[in-house]
Structure 1
Amino acid sequence: MNANVMNPLVDFSDLPRFDAVSPDDVTPAITDLLAQCEAVVTQIDQSSAPATWEKVVTPLEDVTEKLSRAWGIVSHLHGVRDTPELRAAYNENQPLITEFFTALGQNLALYKKYQDLHTSPAFNDYSVARKKIINNALRDFKLSGAELADEQKQRYAQIQEELAALSTKYSEHVLDATNHYSLHIETVDQLAGLPDDALAAARNKAQQAGKSGFLFGLQFPSFYPLLQYADDRQLRATIYRANCTKASELGENLEWDNTAIIDKILALRAEEAHLLGYANYAEVSLVPKMAQSPEQVAQFLLDLAQRARPYAEKDLAELRHFAKESLAIDELQAHDIAYASEKLREQRYAFSEQEVKQYFPEPQVVQGLFSITKTLYGVDIKADKASTWNPDVTFFRIEKNGQLIGQFYLDLYAREGKQGGAWMDDARGRRKTVGGIQTPVAYLTCNFTPPANGKPSYFTHDEVITLFHEFGHGLHHMLTQVDELGVSGISGVEWDAVELPSQFMENFCWEWDVLQQLTAHSDTGAPLPRSLYDKMLAAKNFQSGMQTLRQVELSLFDLRLHDGYLQQHQLSVQDLLNQIRSQISVFKTPEFNRFQHAFSHIFAGGYAAGYFSYKWAEVLSADAYAAFEEASDNSAIGIKFQQEILAVGGSRPALESFIAFRGRAPEIDALLRHNGMAA
C-alpha cells in the first residue's frame, strides 16, 4: 500500500470504504490501532488524577471504538466475502484482538478507576445511561477475571484466545463443508415436484460451474426445496443426510470434522467458569441476562415442552396418517417430514408455499417493510449511497423530520463465501461526539434465493418473516435515542431480551393490511387475495406444537451442555443430544444426524447457554404485540414501543423497559395463544 494513502480500515471519517479494503490492510491497521489502545490504557492507568468520566470512560471509549469498528469491518467481510487471503489475515489478528480485550478486562488499575467512579459523589449526578455503563463495567471486570490471582489471570487469558480460535475454526469448517458439497442432477425428470424458480436457480448454479443440468448445494435456498418438494424420496434422503452430517465425522471431508472442537470448547468454558468461582458455564452466561439461574431456565423450557407436547403429538399423528394414506409412505422418515408437511398443508388449506411465494417479490416486500416502519415509528427510509462488498448489496438511510438518525446495509442473497443464516450486526453505534451526534449504522444480512432469468427474487412467507425479524434488530440499534455508546442501541441489552424487537416485528407479517402493502403477484401484479390470506392464517399454527418442541429441544441441549449435566452423568455430546431428543421430541431423529456440528449459534455465535433466549424473548414479544391487538390506535402504541423499548437501548434493565411499555410484568398467555396452544 502506498504510504501516502490512508489505510481504509483506520479511516473513521464516515462509512467503511469497502471498495478499498484488501486483506493486506488488516495487519497494519490492527497493529496501529492496538498500539493506540495500549497507549491510552497506560495513560489512564498511570494517571494520579481523581477518576472522572472525562478522564477515564471517554478516552477509553474513543480509542476502543476505533479498534472495534475496524475489526468489525474485517469480521463482517470474513462472514460475507470469505477468501483464503482474508481468512489468513483474520486468523492472524484475531488472537491479538482477544488478547487485548482480555487484558483490558483484567486490568486491576482500570478496575479501580471504575470502582472510584462508582463511589464518587459525582456518580449520583450521572445520567441513568452513565450509571448503567459503570455498573456493567464493574460486572464485566469480575467476569473477565480482574479479581483473579496472576497465575489464574494468565490461564484465563489463554482460555479466551483458545476459545476465539476454536470458534473461528468451527465456523470455517461449517462454511467450507457447505460450500464444497454439490449434488449434480443431469435431467429434469429426476426433479419432479420442484417449482420452476428452484429449477431455474439450480440450472443457473450448474451453468456457473460449467456443467449441464442442475446443481444443488447446502446453502438453505438451494437444498431445502429438494426436501420440501422433490417427489424422489431417495433424492430427499441424500440431501437430508448431506446437510445434517456436514462438518462431522460422517461428512464428506474429515478435515472439517468439528467433533474435537466441540469437546474442547465445552471443556474450556467449564474451566473458565471454575476459575471465576462458578459451578458451571451456564451460571457465567446468565450473569448479564434476565434469567436468574440455569434451574429457572430449565423449568421454563420444561414447562413450555409440557404445554406443547399434546399439540406436537397430534401434529405428528396427523402427518403419519396423511403420509400413509395419501403418499404411500408407510414409515415416515426424517427426510419425509418437510415433503409430507407441505403436501398436507396443500390438502388441508388448499394452498402451497410456492403459491404464496409468487406474491412476495423483493422490491415490493422491502418497500412495504419501509412503509410499515414509517407508520409505526414516523420515520422515512430512503435509498442512499455507500461502497459495498458486493454489487447486490443496497444501502439506505433512516430520517425523522428530515434529520438523519441511522443507516443500514441490506445484503439479501445467498452466495459462496458467505456464511449461512441471517443476522444483524452493528457497523457503528450512536454516541455524542465533539461534532454532534454520531448516527448508528447496521449490517442486515440474509441468505435468500438471488434473482434469476431477469425476474426479481421472490420470497417465501418464512423469508419475509426472517427479513422483518432482522430489521427489528436493526431498528433496535438505529432508533435509539441514547447518546452513550456503551448502552445505545443493542449495546448493553440483556441477551435474552435482545430478541424482543426482532420477534415483535414478525407479528406484522400476519396482518391483512400489512400484507396488502408487501405483495404483488409475479404475473398480474395483484396484491395477495383475501381468500389466500385466510388460508394462510388458518395454517399459521400448522405444526406449531412440533416446532415449539424443536426449539425447546435445542435450547435444553444447549443449557445441559453448559450447566454441568454432561460431566455429572459422564455423557458424550452425542449421548446428551440423544437423551434430550428422547425426552422432548415426539419424532425419532436418525442416528446419523449430527446437527450439533453446525450449531453455530452456540459454538461460534455468542448464544452459548443462551439459545433459550429465542423462546424467552418470544414471551416478551408476543405479550408486547398483544398491546397492539388490544389498542384502537396502533400509531400511538408504536410510538410508546419506540420510546420505552427501542429508544432506551441498554440504558436500563430490559424488564423495566417492558413494564414501562406494558404496565406490568410479562405473561406467557399471549405466546401460547399466538401459537394456537392456549387452553
Structure 2
Amino acid sequence: MSQNILLNTFETPYTTAPFSKIKHSHFLPAFKQGIKDAKAEIDAIINNSDSPTFENTIEALDYSGEQLDRISSIFFNLNSAETNDSIQKIAQEVSPLLSEFSNDITLNEDLFERVKSVYKSKNELDLTIEQQTLLDKKYKSFSRNGANLPEDKKETLREIDKKLSQLKLKFGENILAETNKFEMLITDESDLSGLPDGAKEAAKQLAESKQKEGWLFTLDYPSYIPFVTYADKRELREKLSLAAGSKGFKNDALDNQKIVLDIVKLRHERANLLGYKTHAHFVLEERMAETPEKVQSFLNELLEKAKPAAEREFKNLNEFAEELDGLDQLQKWDGAYYAEKLKQKLFSLDDELLKPYFKLENVIDGAFIVANKLFDLNFEEIHDIDKYHEDVLTYKVTDNNGNLVSIFYADFFPRAGKRNGAWMTSFKPQYIKDGYNSRPHVSIVCNFTKPTKSKPSLLTFNEVTTLFHEFGHALHGMLANTTYPSLSGTSVYWDFVELPSQVMENWCYEKEALELFAKHYETGELIPMDLVEKIKESATFHEGMQTLRQLSFGLLDMSWHGGASPETINSVKEHESETFVNTTLYPEVQENCMSTAFAHIFQGGYSSGYYSYKWAEVLDADAFEYFKEEGIFSKEVATKFKDHVLSQGGTENPMTLYKRFRGQEPKPEALLKRAGLIEK
C-alpha cells in the first residue's frame, strides 16, 4: 500500500474522497504516478497481440486512467472551491503535465491505428447505440485533435495546448485574487441608508471577523448584490460597481488583457492547424447548433424579438428614475437599484418581503421533495464521510427500494478560497463495469448569504432559482445510468447540458411546489398566495433587458471565437465595445471590461458555447410546457424525462433523446411566450 493516500483504493464509506487525510504534498507525486499508470494501461492496449476489437480497444480506452481521473477531479474541484497559494502553484505545475498526457494519447499513431481499424469495421459489428456513440466519439477525439497531422504540426499542437492550460489557470487565479483584494469599509452608518437589516448585519459581522470597525462590503455576490440593489448612496454603488466591472482590467499584476488576447490567438491557431476556419467552427461541429452561422442566426433572431422590449423597458426605467430622483441618465450602477424600486411599485414585491420564506434549509428540503415527487429520490444527510470544508453538507441519495443512487455534496457560502458564482461538478462519475453499476459522487457549489448572529441564511428569490438550477445539473449526474464513464451524466453536448438545470427552475414559480417548502423561518407560516401570484406576475419583469444582456454575452463569445482572425485585434476593450454596439443600453464605462473577467469562456468550458444558455431555454420552456399540460408533478412525464433525458447522458444525439421524451422537436414559441416577448 502506498504512503500516498491518493494512490490507494479509498477505504472510506462509499469510497468517498478522504479529504482530511489528503496533504498538498500528495498531489504532485500522485499525478505523476497516475499518469505513469494510465500510460501503462494505454501501452497494454497498443501492445495487445489480438486484432483490434471494440472491447479490447475502444472500451478498454474508456475505462483507462480511472485513478488519474479521480485524482484530477478531487484536485481541480478544490482549486475552484477551496484553493490557496499552494494549490494554485501545484495547478500550474500539473496542468501542462495533464495537457501533455492528453496529447500523448490523441497523437499516438499506434493507438489511433487500432481505433481507426475498429471504426472502419463498425458496420460489420453488432454494437448497441451507446457503443456506436462511444466508437464515434473516440474516433473523433483523435481525428479532431491532431492524430492525422504530420509530426512537426503535432509538436506545435502540444505547445499550444500546454500554453492554453497555463493561461486559463492564470486567468482564473487573477480574478479570484481581484475579488479577494477589494474591500469597501463603511464607518458612517448614514452611508448604509436603504440597505436591509440582514445585509447590514452581515457586513458588520464580516468587518468584525477581520478586526475592523464598521461595515465591510466585498465583491462576493451576497455582499455585492444587496449593496448595488438597495444602497441609496449613489457614489458608493458606483465605487462597488466599478470595482466589479474592472476585474482583470487595471494594467497591473492581475491584468487579464494580454491573457485574453493570447488565449483567443492560440485557440484560433489550434483550430487552423486542425483544418477549421475558427475555434467556433471546431467546437460547434460537436454541438446541437453545428455551425457558428447557425448560432449567430439564432442569437440575432432572439435579438430582433428582445431588443424593442428591452429598449421600452429601459426607457420606462429611465423615466422612473428621473421622476423619483431627478436622474437625467441611468448608469450601470443605477440599474439594479431603480429596477428594484420599480418592481416594488408595480408588484408590491421585493426580495426583503420574500426572503423570510426562503430559509436555505427549507429550500434545500424543497428541492429534495420535488426530486422525490418527480423521480422517487430520497435524501438523507450523513455525517460519516469526509468534507473539504466544514460548511459542506453531505447526503446519501437512494431510490424507493433503498438502493444507493448517489453521494451528494452541497457547498453554499462564499469564502476566500472559493471563486464566485455557482456550479455543479462531480468527484466520481457513474459507469457500469463487470456487471457492477458504480454510482456517482456529485457536488453543487454556490455563494449564498451566510447566516448571521440573529438570522439563518435567507435566500433572495434569485438565489432560490440558482439552487434549483444547480440541483437540476446534479440530478443529471445522480440519475446517470450508462455503461461508459465518458458518456455518463452531464457528458453531453454543451448546448444540451443546461436543459436539466434550467427546467428545474420552473418549479420555483409554481404554487403547488412553493407550498411544499416556502414557509416563514420564524412562524412556519406558508407563503401567502398573493405573494406567489406576484412572483408569477413579476417573472417577466424586465425580461427584454435580461434577454438582451444574455445575448450580448453570447455574441461577445462568438466574436472572440468565431469572427475574424484574432491577430487583427489589438485592444480587448475596443473589440468588446464594437461587439456590444447593438446590445448596449447604458452609457459606456471606460473603466469596465467584461472579457477580462469572463471566466465562463476563458477559464471554464463555455468558449463558443455561451449561447447554449439561451438555446437550452428553448428546450426547457418547451419541456416544462409538457409538464404543465399533464400536471407539474405528473409521474408519467417525469418518468419519461428521467428515462429519456436524465439517465441517458451522452449515449445518443440530444435531439433524438429530446424527441423521445417530448414526441416532437422543441418549439421556440414556448420560450417567447414565457418571456412575454410574444402574445400568449
Indicate the TM-score class for this superposition, using the shorter chain for normalisation: over 0.9
Q: Residue type of the partner of 2:198?
A: D
The 2-side partners of 1:188 and 1:281 are apart by 51
Larger mean Cα displacement after TM superposition, 322-331 or 428-437: 428-437
Partner of 2:365 in structure 1?
367
Change in Cα spacing, 1:547 to 1:589, as seen in structure 2 (3 Å) is farther
Superposition pairs of residues 512-523 of structure 1, within 5 angstroms: 512-523=511-522
Q: Residue type of the partner of 1:157?
A: R
How far apart are 1:222 and its partner, in Å?
1.0
Q: Give deviations 1:313-351, integer Å, cap 9, x for gaps.
A: 111111011101013322211110000000111111112
The 1-side partners of 2:122 and 2:310 are apart by 58
Partner of 1:508 in structure 2?
507
The 1-side partners of 2:167 and 2:411 are apart by 27
Q: Give deviations 1:637-657, integer Å, cap 9, x for gaps.
A: 111111111111110010001
The 2-side partners of 1:453 and 1:309 are apart by 45
Partner of 2:405 in structure 1?
405
Query: Are the equivalent residues in 1 in contact too, given 2:221–2:447 (CA < 8 A)?
Result: yes
The 1-side partners of 2:466 and 2:339 are apart by 20
Superposition pairs of residues 451-466 of structure 1, within 5 angstroms: 451-453=451-453, 455-466=455-466
Larger mean Cα displacement after TM superposition, 308-317 or 578-587: 578-587
The 2-side partners of 1:63 and 1:22 are apart by 25
Does 1:388 find its partner at 2:387? yes
How far apart are 1:672 and its partner, in Å?
0.6
Structure 1 segments unaligned to the other structure (5+ residues): none
The 1-side partners of 2:668 and 2:567 are apart by 32
How far apart are 1:97 and its partner, in Å?
0.8
Structure 2 segments unaligned to the other structure (5+ residues): none
How far apart are 1:630 and its partner, in Å?
1.4
Paired residues, number = 673
SS state at 2:17 partner: coil
Query: Are the equivalent residues in 1 in contact too, given 2:4–2:26 (CA < 8 A)?
Result: no
How far apart are 1:65 and its partner, in Å?
2.0
SS state at 1:256 partner: coil
The 2-side partners of 1:230 and 1:315 are apart by 22
Query: Are the equivalent residues in 2 in contact too, given 1:9–1:21 (CA < 8 A)?
Result: no
SS state at 2:204 partner: helix
Query: Are the equivalent residues in 2 in contact too, given 1:379–1:398 (CA < 8 A)?
Result: yes
The 2-side partners of 1:555 and 1:342 are apart by 26
Q: Give deviations 1:428-474, integer Å, cap 9, x for gaps.
A: 11112347211011111101111111532111111110111111111
Does 1:278 find its partner at 2:279? no
The 2-side partners of 1:563 and 1:90 are apart by 29
Q: Residue type of the partner of 1:96?
A: L
Does 1:309 find its partner at 2:307? yes
How far apart are 1:495 and its partner, in Å?
0.6
Q: Give deviations 1:285-319, integer Å, cap 9, x for gaps.
A: 10211112111110100010000111111111110
Q: Residue type of the partner of 2:421?
A: G
How far apart are 1:98 and its partner, in Å?
1.0
Superposition pairs of residues 507-546 of structure 1, within 5 angstroms: 507-546=506-545
Partner of 2:355 in structure 1?
357
The 2-side partners of 1:573 and 1:242 are apart by 18
Q: Residue type of the partner of 1:203?
A: K
Superposition pairs of residues 269-668 of structure 1, within 5 angstroms: 269-384=267-382, 385-400=384-399, 401-434=401-434, 436-453=436-453, 455-491=455-491, 493-565=492-564, 567=566, 572-632=571-631, 634-668=634-668
Larger mean Cα displacement after TM superposition, 586-595 or 302-311: 586-595
Q: Give deviations 1:106-130, integer Å, cap 9, x for gaps.
A: 1222122122222347963222111
SS state at 1:93 partner: helix
Q: Give deviations 1:248-285, integer Å, cap 9, x for gaps.
A: 126xxx11000000000011001001100111111011
Normalised TM-score (structure 1): 0.96
The 1-side partners of 2:173 and 2:195 are apart by 31
Query: Are the equivalent residues in 2 in contact too, given 1:111–1:146 (CA < 8 A)?
Result: yes
The 1-side partners of 2:406 and 2:294 are apart by 37
Query: Are the equivalent residues in 2 in contact too, given 1:425–1:443 (CA < 8 A)?
Result: yes
The 1-side partners of 2:359 and 2:478 are apart by 26
Partner of 1:33 in structure 2?
34
How many percent identity over aligned positions?
33
SS state at 2:432 partner: strand
The 1-side partners of 2:423 and 2:608 are apart by 19
The 1-side partners of 2:453 and 2:125 are apart by 63
Larger mean Cα displacement after TM superposition, 96-105 or 435-444: 435-444
Larger mean Cα displacement after TM superposition, 28-37 or 101-110: 101-110
Query: Are the equivalent residues in 2 in contact too, given 1:566–1:572 (CA < 8 A)?
Result: no
How far apart are 1:55 and its partner, in Å?
2.1
SS state at 1:413 partner: coil
Q: Give deviations 1:499-534, integer Å, cap 9, x for gaps.
A: 011001011110011111221213322121011111
Partner of 1:235 in structure 2?
236
SS state at 2:21 partner: coil
How far apart are 1:567 and its partner, in Å?
4.4
Query: Are the equivalent residues in 2 in contact too, given 1:602–1:609 (CA < 8 A)?
Result: yes
Q: Give deviations 1:34-92, integer Å, cap 9, x for gaps.
A: 11111121222222311123322344334312111111101011111111111112221
Root mean square deviation, CA, Å: 1.6
Does 1:173 find its partner at 2:171? no
The 1-side partners of 2:43 and 2:541 are apart by 59
The 1-side partners of 2:424 and 2:415 are apart by 17
The 1-side partners of 2:408 and 2:54 are apart by 31
Does 1:217 find its partner at 2:218? yes
The 2-side partners of 1:411 and 1:24 are apart by 25
SS state at 1:16 partner: coil
